[in-house]
Structure 1
Amino acid sequence: MATPHISAEPGDFAPAVLLPGDPKRAERIAKLLMPDARLISDVRGALAFTGTVDGQPLSVMGSGMGMPSATLYATELYKFYGVERIIRVGTCGGIARKVQVGDVVIALGAHTDSNMNQQRLPGLNYSAVASYDLVRAAVDAVEGDQRVHVGMITSHDHFYFSSHDETWLPLLDQYGVLGVEMESAGIYGAAAEFGKQALTVLTCSDHLLDASHNMSAEQRETSFQGALRLAVAAAHS
């Protein structure tokens, strides 16, 4: 039963799906984790794979950039393919000064400047939060001296911030917001709508208040293994 945006058949997706934004990153994750991975959908270049990790089924799919795209795929995965858990694996820009480039951020919840979740419950300031069981599993998987932060992030509609940045960024830092990305608030909202689970695990690739150690484009694609390990632990919890 294909949807307008996914060509997979019923049963092709595992109960847990890793959801990076970049379809090519989805392909790299599949090759890295699952030697038996098979391509199950490639509509509009949103590559999706299913295989096994340590004998347990797992899927990975690219969501595209931004909440409209990520929420579209999350909705179809939850509603039509029986997916129970979506774990976004991606990058973020650091905001809190305690977060360093290369650190991992586990997102308890996602503030947002988007109107997407307000459309779900008009007149309510909806709180988009992760599933506790997945947060706990990811935290429990942290090893040794791995630098991991657990807390709030913010999901923005605009990648290139507007003129209010000079006001917003210090306030977000003051209020303990760890970083910024573009998808999690929408994914968390979709999970709540369908009674499913969701989590976001991010690698800080650059810092908005201190750009001196920002990652190169190549480093962004090769420095996510720490976050990926925690995401897999959550997926199989």
Structure 2
Amino acid sequence: MAIILNIETATKNCSVSLANDGITIACKELATAHFSHAEKLHVFITELLEENNIQYAHLEAVAISQGPGSYTGLRIGVSSAKGLCYALNIPLIAIDTLQLLAQQITIESGSILPMIDARRREVFSSIYDPNYNQIRATQAEIIDENSYQEINETIHLVGDGAGKFKDTLTDPKFVFHDTVVYPSANEMSSLSFEKFQNSEFVDVAYFEPFYLKDFLLVK
């Protein structure tokens, strides 16, 4: 039995889940316009443990959403995860934030394009196939009407960055999944357990979030 605490703070969504052998036991999250990470993160962690009769000593690992995303949100999440790992002497697992966002939808064909708002007309994005394999590297890009013209298949857009471009990406190949806005710790459970089984850990002392840009404070 591997109980893993998953933390996702890369966007406006402050999200925490507890998982047992890759299955989510419980999840708490809150998305607010002005962020709530500093106020809510440790409250959510404490509540999840108490409500599920799990002690800190029962945790086998902590998984963190590594970015890209909000500079401040990532710093808060990573600092908290590192502190728990140091105190409990357990490993730290890092999960790609855009992969988490992509895994909130299921498609049979085409591509998944998760987008995280990076202010103005810029987004953090990547492209995944229906099996969630990354087929284009993560990048910060400015979107216009000529974006993704080289892709000749259905493109499924998810995330808070996608909604900004409904009037720009008007080709019928673009499908917007409006109900998927933020990455969630709920989708981290299976990914963190797989990495735990394969001992894919990051160095607690030297790990840094994947900011992608030198500094970004999402507003």
Category of TM-score, reference length = shorter chain? 0.3 to 0.5
TM-score, reference length from structure 1: 0.35
